Amino acid sequence: MSAFAPSDLPEPDWVFGYGSLIWNPGFDYQETVLARVHGYRRSFCIRSNRYRGTPAAPGVVLGLAQGGSCIGMAFRLDPAHRAAAVKSLFDREMPGQLYVPRMVEALPLTGAPPVRALTFVANTTHAAFMLLPDEEVLRRLRHCAGERGPNLEYALRTHESLRAHGVRCTVLERLVRSLSMGEGKTR
């Protein structure tokens, strides 16, 4: 697969975040709105050997996997800082081509008209793409850490940020409930 560059896509006015972008966007924006994207679901489907794990103990981070729908945060970019924001996003999300940048239709939960938003979906052809059973996801969340901290912190911050916006994510709720009940511990 050839490398993607910001110039490969139309210039976005919006960005759709479904994981750490919700609580750590890292770019300038003018407004945010909760939005739903159809055709993709939030999934712990990307092996993390750097940010939330190591090569010896890889963590797992969120990606958008095919199927279902996902509620996340749509960020309207500040036109004066659009190019810098998109470059920052590509620098953050695209090392190693773990994701595929896509323009998607995001439906604001306010009832406002849909917006076209840049998002990053899981690259299903990449070796780091994996669909793991909950027990393995839980094990990695409990025990893995990388340059940006513990894998568990990533999951909990994403869950807490969604809850603070009134969003219930069944995937995160199920995992957080299992973590708090002590399930999924390795023996």
Give tens-digit pLDDT for 135-154: 999 999 999 999 999 999 99
DSSP 127: T
Instruction: Work out the percent of the chain whose per-residue pLDDT is above 70.
Output: 91
- pTM, two decimals, is 0.90
pLDDT reported for residue 184: 44
- Rounded Cα distance, 21 and 45, in Å: 17
96 pLDDT band (50/70/90 cuts)? confident
Domains in the chain, CATH or no CATH each: 10-177 (3.10.490.10)
Give tens-digit pLDDT for 43-85: 999 999 999 999 999 999 999 999 999 999 999 999 999 999 9
175 pLDDT band (50/70/90 cuts)? very high
**Residue type at position 40:** Y
- Rounded Cα distance, 70 and 19, in Å: 11
pLDDT reported for residue 8: 61
The residues with which 184 forms a beta bridge, in sequence order, are: none
Q: Are 98 and 45 in contact (CB under 8 A)?
A: no
